[in-house]
């Protein structure tokens, strides 16, 4: 899927199966690896990012059986059972893998080097390295505060109380994982609420946490016990099909058993503010995670000022939201989202460039964007290897007046390896 060509028009209909949640899949593999006993993960996403996590733990001495992709089996080695790898660990494009592994390896008393591809190699790592050093980790990074990260065996870590300066579930999770190896209490607080998949999964693995608002703490020395996990469908991947159904004519899709964690469902709230016809039904809980069936129908979207309190719970879905804004009546404004410049690409600049190529009026700010909805032409888009940018512009063709061609779309395989087949079967005119 390096290059995609999507013909204009069409509609989306039917039941659309979405692969497992990437964030939860990462964590299920990681926690299972350092647990005692066997962990079975059903619905694990087998995209390139999660495969990088699996290969990383294999290099650390963990047996992971992926012969049956419907049920990944992890033979945990316990907190102290990891061994030093024989070579550098390449994590590809996965920031989650790097930041969470940095926390685990800081306490595991082994030596390892973490590196990634060109995109991951420019993403900020100081946000996890500096607090790990406060805990006693012997961890180094480049002069630009980026990877590679080099972790050396260190004396015992100590728990800290730490206010994360940027709302980040990856940083919070990495520090909690380091806290499992530390003496005393590790207490992490945030200025807002980030996704809580780590807290939910750690609890399922038997770790006791103290959660008080935006603060979470744990006592060091606790062990994890292997268990069975069912991963819900990924709401971030589902967002593109919500977008496609909302902007195209005569569309109605059902997205079954999508993760509906309140720390992740901001995209649904924003789409509803934009007047999207979205129905959420059959809400229940699976492996500690809220899930629901989501139905989306053709909608007449309106521009909105996006509330800043919804940004953390929709941070990964803004490429889809920006395309919705381009199809809406009026102006959509987002401010307070500078973190979008530090994703797999600078998503404010890359999305703005692509929208302008399709004839959409856009104004950018350091921390956001203003999009004036209207007609979209066809055109050539450079996704810069960013999976979410590529999938968002693929759906834009449903509303565009001409063909949308997308280059450098290979990143889709990191989170949604079956996107082409699923989108085509739903009605997208993609090749």
**For the chain, percent of residues with pLDDT exceeding 70:** 100
Please state the pTM of the whole predicted model: 0.94
Give 406's strand partners.
4, 381
The chain-wide mean pLDDT, for the chain, equals 97
Q: Strands 161-164 and 277-286, how do they pair?
A: unpaired
Q: Can you tell me the distance from the alpha carbon of 313 to that of 228, in angstroms, rounded to the nearest whole number?
A: 26
Instruction: Determine the pLDDT at residue 22.
Output: 97
Closest CA to 328 of 294, 363, 368, 360: 360
Mean pLDDT for 130-157 is 95
pLDDT of 1 > 80? The answer is no
| Average confidence (pLDDT) over 48-58 | 97
Q: What are the structural domains of the chain?
A: 4-20+232-426 (3.65.10.10), 22-230 (3.65.10.10)
Positions annotated as catalytic residues are: 316
The C-alpha R_g of the chain, in whole angstroms, comes to: 21
Predicted confidence (pLDDT) at residue 84 exceeds the cutoff of 90: yes
pLDDT at 155: 79
Model confidence band, residue 2 (pLDDT cutoffs 50, 70, 90) = confident
For Cα atoms 225, 228, 234, give the angle at the middle one, nearest 5 degrees. Answer: 120
At 197-234, the pLDDT tens digits run 999 999 999 999 999 999 999 999 999 999 999 999 99
Separation between Cα atoms, residue 157 and residue 343, nearest integer Å: 29
d(CA 258, CA 237): 10
* Rounded CA separation 3/215 (Å): 44
How far apart CA 416 and CA 409 sit, in angstroms, is 12
Over residues 278-293, the mean pLDDT reads: 96
Q: How far apart are CA 257 and CA 240, in angstroms?
A: 16
Burial 232-261 (b: 16+ CB within 10 A, else e): bbbbbbbbbbbbbbbbbeebebbbbbbbbb
């Amino acid at each position: 899927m390096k290059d995609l060509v999507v013909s204009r028009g069409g509609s989306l209909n039917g039941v659309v199966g979405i692969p497992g949640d990437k964030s939860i899949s990462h964590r299920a593999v990681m926690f299972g690896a350092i647990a005692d006993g066997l962990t079975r993960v059903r619905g694990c996403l087998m995209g390139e990012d999660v495969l990088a996590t699996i290969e990383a733990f294999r290099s650390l001495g963990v047996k992971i059986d992926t012969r049956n992709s419907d049920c990944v089996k992890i033979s945990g080695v316990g907190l102290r059972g990891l061994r030093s790898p024989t070579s550098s660990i390449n994590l590809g494009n996965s920031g989650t893998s790097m930041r969470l592994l940095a926390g685990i390896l800081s306490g595991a008393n082994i030596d390892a080097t973490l590196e990634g591809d060109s995109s991951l190699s420019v993403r900020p790592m100081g946000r996890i390295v500096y607090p790990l050093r406060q805990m006693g980790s012997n961890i180094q990074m480049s002069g630009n505060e980026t990877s590679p990260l080099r972790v050396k065996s260190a004396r015992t870590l100590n728990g800290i109380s730490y206010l994360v300066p940027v709302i980040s579930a990856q940083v919070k999770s990495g520090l909690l994982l380091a806290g499992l190896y530390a003496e005393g209490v590790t207490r992490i607080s945030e200025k807002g609420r980030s996704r809580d998949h780590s807290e939910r999964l750690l609890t399922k693995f038997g770790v006791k946490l103290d959660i008080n608002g935006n603060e979470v703490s744990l006592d060091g020395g606790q062990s994890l016990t292997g268990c069975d996990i069912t991963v819900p469908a990924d709401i971030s991947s589902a967002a593109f099909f919500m977008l496609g159904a909302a902007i195209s004519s005569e569309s109605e899709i059902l997205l079954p058993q999508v993760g509906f964690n309140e720390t992740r469902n901001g995209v649904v709230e924003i789409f509803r503010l934009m007047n999207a016809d979205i129905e959420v039904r059959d809400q229940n809980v699976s492996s500690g995670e809220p899930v629901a069936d989501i139905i989306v129908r053709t909608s007449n979207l309106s521009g909105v000022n996006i509330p800043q309190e919804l940004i953390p719970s929709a941070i990964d879905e803004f490429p889809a939201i920006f395309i919705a804004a381009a199809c809406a009546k009026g102006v959509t404004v987002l401010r307070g989202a500078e973190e979008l410049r530090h994703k797999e690409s600078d998503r404010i600049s890359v999305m703005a460039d692509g929208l302008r190529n399709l004839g959409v009026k856009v104004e950018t700010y350091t921390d956001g964007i203003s999009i004036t909805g209207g007609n979209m032409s066809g055109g050539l888009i450079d996704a810069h290897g960013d999976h979410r940018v590529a999938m968002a512009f693929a759906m834009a063709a449903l509303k565009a007046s001409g063909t949308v061609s997308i280059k450098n779309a290979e990143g889709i395989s990191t989170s949604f390896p079956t996107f082409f087949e699923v989108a085509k079967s739903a009605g997208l005119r993609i090749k």
